[in-house]
Chains A and B, each alone.
Chain A
Amino acid sequence: MTKMVIENRIRRLRFDHGEMTQQALAERIGATRQTIIAIEGGKYAPSLELAFRIADAFGVGVDEVFQRKI
């Protein structure tokens, strides 16, 4: 099975939400800033629960935050 590559638009969504800082997003979803950095950089794939919390923080669906790279 080939490894699935998942991209995210967190950086873009933060920009669209008044240049929300990584720290502010981390505090909203109950994670650390380093976890946000890791997710943005594609170094950590969050659980479904954390993915939903990120999506909720931006008021969008999960599919608008995370997409599978084709």
Chain B
Amino acid sequence: MGDFMDLEEKVSWGAFLPWILGCGYYLTALVRWNNGGSHWPLGSVLIGMLLVQVVYMIVVAAVSRKEPRDERTRLIEYKGYKVAYLAVEAVLSGWLLWLYLPQHWNEPHKKLPLLLAVWLGVEAIRMGTQLVLYRASVRA
């Protein structure tokens, strides 16, 4: 893998692959569990994922050339956060709309205040950050 990737990209792969494998394994176990199979607890999967990530990071840091986090690396990171944020917002909005469907009006909405609070909170943080950045010096 040598110089094919910079350190940040290697680290990102090291975080992403165990995450996807862990999620996939956990979801599969959950489906099996719902069908009467044995249950693999989320805690064990998370600990396993973290262990793999930590070992990978140590090995990559030891064998890779030390590189600065430059503007392109930061820009990629920001864009990743933006896509993730938009995905979370889409899920939250869909969930809120679903809870507001007429057939749910007579049900107690225990999750609704929390969902609304999270949604309002993250939107407030986004708008507040943007308003500060409009007046601050900005760089990638």
Contact = CB atoms under 8 A, between A and B. Distances in A.
Interface residues of A, number: 14
A34 B9 contact: yes
B8 interface: yes
Contacts, number: 39
Nearest to B72: A35
B3 A30 contact: no
A50 B9 contact: no
A31 B3 contact: no
A7 B72 CA distance: 18
What secondary structure prevails in chain A residues at the interface with B?
helix
Contacts of A33: 3, 6, 67
A46 interface: yes
Interface residues on B, range: 10 to 19
Interface string B62-92: 0000011011110000000000000000000
A20 interface: no
Contacts of A31: 68, 70-72
Contacts of B6: 32-35
B5 interface: yes
A-B residue pairs, 8 tightest by C-beta: A31-B70, A32-B6, A34-B6, A35-B72, A32-B67, A30-B68, A35-B70, A44-B72
16 contacts: A23-B3, A30-B70, A31-B68, A31-B72, A32-B7, A32-B8, A32-B67, A34-B9, A35-B71, A35-B72, A35-B73, A38-B72, A44-B72, A46-B72, A47-B140, A50-B70
